[in-house]
Amino acid sequence: MNPNFLQTPIAYLKGVGPNRAETLQSELGITTYQDLINLFPNRYLDKTQYYKIGQLQRSSADVQVLGKIVHIKTVEQKKGKRLVASFADETGEMELIWFRGQKWIKENLKLNTPYVVFGKTKWYNGKFSMPHPEMELLTEHEQGLKIFMQPIYPSTEKLSAKGITNRVLNKLMQQLFLDTKGRFMETLSNGILNELNLLPKSEALFNIHFPKNQELLAKAQFRLKFEELFYIQLQLITKKLIRKQKIKGFNFDQVGELFNIFYEEYLPFELTNAQKRVIKEIRSDLGSNAQMNRLLQGDVGSGKTIVALMTMLLAIDNEYQACIMAPTEILANQHYNGIKELLGNLNVNVSLLTGSVKKSERKVIHEQLENGELHILIGTHAVLEDKVQFKNLGLAVIDEQHRFGVAQRSKLWHKNEMPPHILVMTATPIPRTLAMSLYGDLDISVIDELPPGRKPIKTVHRYDSNRLKVFRFIKDEIKKGRQIYVVYPLIQESEALDYKDLMDGYESIVRDFPLPDYQISIVHGKMKPADKDYEMERFVKGETQIMVATTVIEVGVNVPNASVMIIESAERFGLSQLHQLRGRVGRGGDQSYCILMTSHKLSTDAKTRLETMTRTNDGFEIAEVDLKLRGPGDLMGTQQSGALNLKIADIVKDNDILKTARFYALKVLKEDPTLTHDGHKVIRYTYAQLIKHKNIWTYIS
């Protein structure tokens, strides 16, 4: 069959026409025959069996029965009437009942003629009945395409209102298979089909829409999920290979004085094995003549900043400049202070550029960047402004990358003739499955151990009724000289409510922790930035023992002396947010605690989140649970929410198929990077078509 035939506009399919075509497009995104073929069912009704009336069980399953109508009557009831038909086979009798459309139905029913009826049965007054059954004359049933398991397609209210029911979609699908004679071009190589024992494409499509039995359906689903994930991985890996071959990178072949002096004399503690491994991976990238594009994942406090700093020193040793871009001023300030402290009196010039830097200081920064005197620039989005020009930017470190759009990142590329090496850092652990799809074109490094001397944070769940015990515990910790965070949720829609919660909480803490024995800071979104900074500063300096705040402290506040994190209404937070907040404590040598306070009313998901938090400190395990609870779209935040608009596969449930698909995509590209071998022609053609018609790539960020 000519593959271009599938690009025919859907309006031309018999039974569609312009009006239906418009509805199909607006509701389901179906514009071509190809889109309709790729509308896969959500579930199936099993029509593989015909039941005898005598075999029926009192269950709520849908069943299919063969018999004849022997009698029809109209029965008066409290409100209106019902139409009742006695339906019989050789084993017994049941009733078919209609409450609506009776006149039309009564006129069209044929007595003593074989029918196949399908629907849910009910047991009432010693007899089975089936309200509003699907009915087909046996003669028509035998002539139609044999649908043993009835597919149920995605639907919307508007589709139903316009009369495009599941039955209509089913009929359209049958029409499409008749028009194409059920023959579809193969999209995978014989090698892959044979090795994995996959169904051919035509059989897989037929059995996904009209499966004869459960076994064939399972085979069809596996084949189509594999194919979808295979081509996604093929694109990501190709992108990575092309970048490595075509996009040249600066070659940092010197491990120079600054790097060595820092390593030998300035390191605050011995590097962990994970940090050493990651630095080795980065050094191999930087010396490969190709541009580095690496994602560095590591939990809060795992020592990503040291790795980033040592990478920047490599750039400076090779006479290049480096920059760090952070999503907020607080985080940029913290990177600046942290890096200044780590560098001590090493001869490295570092500057901070954020929205609040004065014009006169900016002028100096711009000049020093252009003449090369400035080695490291740390800043927020301000770094991306056109005015900011480097003499020779060799490395860009991007912190919490999912907060920056693709367009913003590409601006960094154009600061130079040649793009700088890119190191993306995130403290939001991304499950491997998701990383393979969202960041499959980046190389991934993981710091999966905490520095020595860090004690795991003890996490407990307490109900509001235990509050007095919790307050006693806080007093004991403050006596030991520790500091405490108390965090309230901030959910924009109910800002008034959040503010009230925060103020009520603050007042009850002030009552229980009175002046002059206790000093309390408060920080929330309605305060002026200067007041916020003042309160934060008091807490950082240890002038206040308790910090009452909304989630503004989630990112980047480093107070090693704070040992207790109390999260109020913990059930209102997502898992990754709870984990990030917990990471604000445990930064010193003392034992730290995280106390999750909730009411007794908890949803099942909330219980799972709290149980996960108390069970593990492992960010990656937490991210896996989060992914299962929320799905991939939500996990990546709004910019990525369309990130995984898959037709049939599910990144979480089909994790194993994803790994297999990635393995085969790598294998094919290793053997034949340009896909020119005879055996790979079909893959090359399919890949080109997918990119041309954007059937699958619309989802990649």
Residue pLDDT, tens place only, 428-443 = 777 766 776 666 777 8
Does 4 map to a domain? no
Q: Give the Cα separation of 572 and 609 in Å (integer).
A: 10
What does the block give as tokens for 279? 């630095």
> In the prediction, which pLDDT does 88 show?
96
Q: Is the pLDDT of residue 129 over 70?
A: yes
Angle at 451 between CA 450 and CA 455, to 5 degrees: 70
Give mean pLDDT, residues 201-215. Answer: 91
Asked if residue 349 lies in contact with residue 374, where contact means CB atoms within 8 angstroms, the answer is: yes
Q: Are 279 and 271 in contact (CB under 8 A)?
A: yes
Provide the percentage of residues in the chain whose pLDDT is more than 70: 90
pLDDT, average across residues 145-173: 86
pLDDT at position 693, please?
67
Q: Is position 664 within any domain?
A: yes
Backbone angles phi, psi at 64, to 5 degrees: -120, 125
Task: Count up the domains in the chain and report the number.
Answer: 4
More confident site: 644 or 174: 174
pLDDT at 635: 43
DSSP reduced 3-state for 155: coil
pLDDT of the residue at 111: 94
Assess contact for 602 and 624: CB atoms under 8 A. Answer: no
Instruction: Give yes or no for a contact between 676 and 438, defined as CB atoms under 8 angstroms apart.
Output: no
DSSP state of 571: G
499 pLDDT higher than 80: no
* Cβ proximity of 537 and 333 under 8 Å: no
User: Per-residue confidence at 681, pLDDT binned at 50, 70, 90?
Assistant: very high
Phi first, then psi: give them for residue 681, nearest 5 degrees: -55, -40
In sign, the C-alpha dihedral spanning 491, 494, 500, 501 is negative
**Could you give the CA distance from residue 683 to residue 687 in angstroms, rounded to a whole number?**
6
- Range with lowest mean pLDDT among 326-335, 402-411, 517-526, 654-663: 402-411
Task: Give 397: exposed, middle or buried? Use CB within 10 Å, 0-12, 13-18, 19+.
Answer: buried
Q: Say yes or no to pLDDT of 403 above 70.
A: no
The dihedral sign for the CA sequence 115, 121, 122, 123:
positive
Domain end among 412, 447, 482: 447
Query: Which of 21-25, 426-430, 569-573 has the lowest average pLDDT?
Result: 426-430
Which pLDDT value is given to residue 698? Answer: 41
Residue 636 within a domain:
no
Q: How many CA atoms lie within 13 A of 472 on its CB side?
A: 4
Structure token pair of residue 155: 């639907």
Q: What is the pLDDT of residue 678?
A: 93
| Residues in Cβ contact with 386 at an 8 Å cutoff, skipping those fewer than 6 apart | none
In this predicted structure, what is the pLDDT of residue 641? 32
Cβ-based neighbours of 8, under 8 Å, separated by 6 or more: 32, 33
Is 593 within the bounds of a domain? yes
For residues 443 and 297, membership in a common domain is answered with yes
Which residues are bridge partners to 483 per DSSP?
562
Task: Give pLDDT, residue 497.
Answer: 60
Q: 223 and 286: one domain?
A: no
pLDDT at 378: 96
- Looking at the structure, tell me whether residues 212 and 337 fall in a common domain: no
Q: Is 555 left (phi over 0), alpha (psi -120 to 50) or beta?
A: beta
Question: What value, to the nearest 5°, has the Cα angle with vertex 248 and ends 325 and 430?
Answer: 45
Task: Tell me: pLDDT of 363 over 90.
Answer: yes
Between CA 643 and CA 438 the distance in angstroms is: 7
User: Between these two residues, 271 and 693, which has the higher pLDDT value?
Assistant: 271
Q: How far is residue 257's CA from residue 265's CA, in Å, rounded to a whole number?
A: 12
Q: Are residues 610 and 529 in the same domain?
A: yes
How far apart, in Å, are the Cα atoms of 477 and each of 543, 562, 563, 688?
A: 16, 10, 8, 64
Identify the pLDDT of residue 639: 35
Find the domain containing 548 and state its range: 458-616
Same domain for 266 and 237 = no
Q: Please check whether residues 593 and 510 belong to one and the same domain.
A: yes
Percentage of the residues of the chain whose pLDDT score is greater than 90: 50
How far lies 359's CA from each of 363, 531, 685, in Å? Answer: 6, 22, 56
Q: How far apart are CA 85 and CA 88, in angstroms?
A: 10
Whether the pLDDT of residue 519 is over 60: the answer is: yes
Q: Is the pLDDT of residue 411 over 90?
A: no
Residues 442 and 464 in one domain: no
Residue 184 domain-assigned (yes or no) = no
Look at residues 616, 645, 663 and tell me which one is the last residue of a structural domain: 616
| Model confidence band, residue 1 (pLDDT cutoffs 50, 70, 90) | low
Mean pLDDT of the region 372-396: 92
pLDDT above 50: residue 160: yes
DSSP 199: P
CA-CA distance, 280 to 274, in Å (whole number)?
10
Q: How far apart are CA 464 and CA 439, in angstroms?
A: 41
CA separation for the pair 442, 172 (Å, rounded): 42
Q: What is the pLDDT of residue 355?
A: 86
Read off the CATH number of the domain in which 488 is found: 3.40.50.300
pLDDT at 552 (0 to 100): 60
Mean pLDDT value across residues 332-359 = 92
**One domain, residues 297 and 441:** yes
pLDDT average, residue stretch 516-539: 86
**Do 547 and 439 have their domain in common?**
no
- What integer pLDDT is reported at residue 413 of this predicted model? 67
Q: Are residues 216 and 300 in the same domain?
A: no
User: Which pLDDT score, from 0 to 100, does residue 636 have?
Assistant: 41
Side-chain-side CA neighbours of 552 within 13 Å: the count stands at 19
Q: What's the CA gap between 20 and 28, in Å, rounded?
A: 11
Which residues, at least 6 apart from 403, have a Cβ–Cβ distance to it below 8 Å?
A: 327, 637, 639
Alpha-carbon distance values, 681 to 234, 239, 677, 687 (Å):
14, 19, 7, 10
pLDDT digits (tens, 9 = 90+) for 463-487: 999 999 999 999 999 999 999 999 9
Residue whose entry in the numeric block shows the structure tokens 């094919």: 668
Highest mean pLDDT among 291-300, 409-418, 598-607: 598-607
Could you tell me whether strands 593-598 and 546-549 are parallel, antiparallel, or unpaired per DSSP bridges? Answer: unpaired
Mean pLDDT of 265-289: 92
Confidence grade of residue 643 (pLDDT, cut at 50, 70, 90): very low
Q: What is the mean pLDDT of residues 146-155?
A: 82
Q: Say if residue 126's pLDDT is above 90.
A: no
Residue 569 phi, psi (nearest 5): 45, 50
pLDDT given for residue 695 in this prediction: 46
Looking from the CA of 686 toward its CB, the CA atoms found within 13 Å total 19
Over residues 656-679, mean pLDDT: 92
Q: Does the residue 697 lie in any domain?
A: yes
Q: State residue 433's pLDDT score.
A: 65
> 241-255, 260-274, 406-420, 501-515: which has the minimum mean pLDDT?
406-420
Using alpha carbons only, give the angle 16, 22, 24 rounded to the nearest 5 degrees.
70
Mean pLDDT throughout 331-354? 92
User: How much is the pLDDT for 444?
Assistant: 86
Is the link from the previous residue into 452 a cis peptide, with omega within 30 of 0? no
Interval 159-187 mean pLDDT:
92
Is the pLDDT at 44 greater than 80? The verdict is: yes
**Residue 637 domain-assigned (yes or no):** no
Q: Compare 332 and 242 and report the one with higher pLDDT.
A: 332
Locate 194 and state its tokens: 């044979």
Please name which of 308, 310, 328, 214 lies closest in space to residue 259, comparing C-alpha atoms: 310
Most confident of 60-69, 94-103, 145-154: 94-103
Choose the final residue of a domain: 447, 466, 484: 447
Specify whether 478 is located in the same domain as 610. yes
In a domain, 159, yes or no: no
Q: Say if residue 442 is exposed, middle or buried (CB neighbours under 10 Å; 0-12, 13-18, 19+).
A: buried
Q: Are residues 483 and 419 in the same domain?
A: no
